[in-house]
Amino acid sequence: MGSRVLGAAALLCLVDALHAFAIEEKGDVFKRTPCPAFLLFVNTAYLADMTFELPCNCKPQEVSSVIWYFQKTMGSQQTRVLTDFAGTVVVDSGQVRAGSDVLKRFSIRMFSLIVFKAQVSDSGHYLCGTKDGDFFYGYDVDVQPSRDITVAFVDRGQYVQNDYAGDFFNLFTTFWDWTRCDRCGVRGEQRRIGLCYLHSPRLHPRYRTALPNVTSCGSRAVLPPLHDPLSLHRPEVAIRSCLTPCPRTEVPKEGVLAISNVIAKLGRKPWLPRVPTQFHRQDAGTALTIACPGARPEHAVAWDKDQTRLYRSQYLIGVNKSMRVFIDHGNHLHIQGLRARDGGTYFCWREGKMVAGFRLRVTQISRRRRTLHDPETIYALRTIGIGFLIIGSIFIFIHLCLYWWRLLKGPART
């Protein structure tokens, strides 16, 4: 018993030491990075539904906590406070929904602001400061839409969109690195996200960019005369095939391997992967969206149904206008108008490893006999009755008009 108490105490001391070390390292960063005398906004760009982190890179040493503010445009009177005045907000990212307000999609950890599932409306200025309104560091965040993104399949010989050259600006795409192969041991796919950027000497000097006169297309550094041509260039994604071997797993001993083979032969289907599987039942005709556990839009994610590979070259949203089953750019699998043949087990790959299964059972909605007391029957009878009354009133009105017209005209002369 005494050894357990000593072990727990040692573990707590180790945790405290690591926490103190992290605080000290963060303090050293603040000592090495002086705050600018004139507040500038650092440009950064992301694709919609991504999660991003904004570190507060500088602050005075006497400030022990920071407050994050949001401004849609520079000098706007509508400034939102994104944190409590202790600067200690932490949320569970698993409970965050894409459609929720930004105040429900952020977290504060070690002076940094984390925004989950960013939306286009989250674009604007993010400022790190104090509750008294003193600002130390600022960001110009540009969240670009993924709804009408341009897609190029490299295996089909398709290429990304060309650059656009104007009188005082150039539009081009800046690509991120290729993701990992989304499957291992079989043919997989890689994805490369590209965001719209602009080169122009006519940018606002208050904004700091990685390259001179280069900023993202949705940046507030772009002056109003250049806003209209920005619709000529959209974010894009390139997709290509890949093949990578699966990592070697530890081979069990000979006796254990023989026992496992016997157990597998007693009834387990050998083609079913051994991953955690969730069971779900849903009515036919409804819509279903499946998310891969722990996956983010920038991750390499793939979907299979039983033994069928759902490749993006066939199932990516927008490939076919009449698609009922598709994968969106946030890596979610959508099934519209569920049918009986949609039932089965859907497997999810994340970063080249199969991580989860989703067994779906589609149930048919039973048809029961309607009675006069059902709300649907009462509504239908009421609608039909109102329709007959309207039609009957129009019929009687027309005949009354004809009668008065003949009466006023008088008998015909011979």
Using a cut of 0.85, tell me whether the model's pTM lies above it.
Answer: no
Q: Are 362 and 282 in contact (CB under 8 A)?
A: yes
Please state the three-class secondary structure of 270-316 as a single string: CCCCCCCEEEEEEECCCCEEECCCCCCCCCCEEEEECCEEECHHHHE
- Given the DSSP bridges, would you call strands 52-54 and 112-115 parallel, antiparallel or unpaired? antiparallel
8 Å CB contact between 181 and 190: yes
- DSSP symbol at 203: B
**How large is the average pLDDT for residues 139-158?**
90
User: What residue spans define the domains of the chain?
Assistant: 22-144, 150-243, 273-363
Distance in angstroms (rounded) separating the CA atoms of residues 327 and 314: 9
* Domain spanning 273-363, CATH architecture: Sandwich (2.60)
% of the chain exceeding 70 in pLDDT: 74
- Per CATH, the homologous superfamily of domain 22-144 is Immunoglobulins (2.60.40.10)
pLDDT given for residue 31 in this prediction: 52
Per-chain mean pLDDT for the chain: 78
Q: Which distant-in-sequence residues (6+ apart) come within 8 Å of 124 by Cβ?
A: 70, 71, 72, 73, 141, 220
Q: Is the pLDDT of residue 77 over 80?
A: no
For the stretch 243-292, pLDDT in tens is 999 887 644 444 444 444 444 444 445 556 788 999 999 998 899 999 99
Alpha-carbon gap, residue 72 to 50, rounded angstroms: 19
Assess whether the region 22-144 and the region 273-363 belong to the same CATH fold: yes
Mean pLDDT along residues 371-384? 76
